[in-house]
Amino acid sequence: MNVILLGPPGAGKGTQAHLLMEHHGMRQLSTGDMLRKAVKNRTEVGLQAKAIMDRGDLVSDEIVSALIDNELAEMPADMGAIFDGYPRTEAQARDLDEILSRHDRKLDHVIELEVDEDALVDRITGRFTCAECGEGYHDRHKQPEREGVCDKCGSTEFKRRPDDTEETVRKRMAVYRAETAPILPHYERKGIVTRIDGMGTMDGVSRAIEGVIAS
Ligand code: AMP
């Protein structure tokens, strides 16, 4: 099973990808996570990508397609892939077709999470995670039960993404509308696109995704 999760930043793609990993033993392939790791490790890719990411612009198609190609090459052939934040441009969608066929994989579903942009700005600008275990929290909607202590692992270190400011979020949404939404017709022609209301509860969205995958 190979699935693309599409949707603007903050639509819940990462959260839903984690649930799919837990329920189905699939692997999340998040180009955003791969790039953040490269930035942290100060690799050549990371050094090139940092300023672009901080502005909310897109890193080059060649870089992200190579990251995906390398990850797929490392994965067992029978392990499903969840593409999260990739492809984001028409060129990447074409790259992915070619990469998948080279790895003897086929795309089963493209699931678009539809969301309200103003609500997303609220969602993204308040989010933070435990630096230790990655558990997600929110300033207004989900504070840890004991202030400053992670519910899950007890760590007292938390982190925020540097690109989660209102200005950058609005920029990333504009980029989504201009560059990423236009790739949907590419997949609509293949008859594999499903749109889901991404503003529901985490469980509700997860159930809707499970329904698509079981179909
Ligand atoms: P994300 O975590 O998916 O929101 O990605 C964070 C940032 O990484 C984006 O704003 C881009 O700068 C960069 N990025 C992630 N995935 C891609 C991609 N597929 N193509 C180009 N840039 C990307």
From CA 183, how far away is CA 186, in angstroms rounded?
A: 5
Across the chain, mean pLDDT equals 94
Q: Is the CB of 56 under 6 A from ligand 1?
A: yes
DSSP state of 52: H
Residue 41 has pLDDT above 90, yes or no: yes
**Mean pLDDT in residue range 25-39:** 95
pLDDT band for position 163 (cuts 50, 70, 90): confident
Helix (H, G, I), strand (E, B), or coil: what is residue 196?
Answer: strand
Which amino acid, residue 115? V
Range with the lowest mean pLDDT among 63-67, 80-84, 200-204? 200-204
From CA 102, how far away is CA 96, in angstroms rounded?
A: 10
Residue 42 has pLDDT above 90, yes or no: yes
What phi and psi values does residue 127 have, to the nearest 5 degrees? Answer: -85, 145
> 161, 170, 171, 195: which is the annotated catalytic residue?
161
pLDDT in the model for residue 39: 96
How remote is the CA of residue 76 from the centroid of ligand 1, in Å? 25
DSSP bridge pairs for 6: 112
How remote is the CA of residue 30 from the centroid of ligand 1, in Å? 9
**Mean pLDDT in residue range 129-133:** 95
How remote is the CA of residue 146 from the centroid of ligand 1, in Å? 33
- pLDDT tens per residue, range 60-70: 999 999 999 99
Structure tokens at 173: 């949404």
Q: Which atom of ligand 1 is nearest to the CA of 60?
A: 21
Contact between 16 and 205 (Cβ < 8 Å): yes
Q: Is the CB of 31 under 6 A from ligand 1?
A: yes
H or E, element range at 136 = strand 136-138
How remote is the CA of residue 149 from the centroid of ligand 1, in Å? 29
- Residue 207 annotated among the catalytic residues of the structure: no
Residue 120 has pLDDT above 90, yes or no: no
Compute CA distances 208 → 17, 63, 113, whole Å.
13, 32, 10
Q: Which atom of ligand 1 is nearest to the CA of 13?
A: 3
Range with the lowest mean pLDDT among 70-74, 105-109, 119-123, 143-147? 119-123
pLDDT band for position 215 (cuts 50, 70, 90): confident
Percent of the chain with pLDDT over 90: 84
From CA 5, how far away is CA 143, in angstroms rounded?
A: 27
Contacts of 4 by beta carbon, 8 Å cutoff, 6+ apart: 82, 83, 86, 87, 107, 109, 110, 111, 187
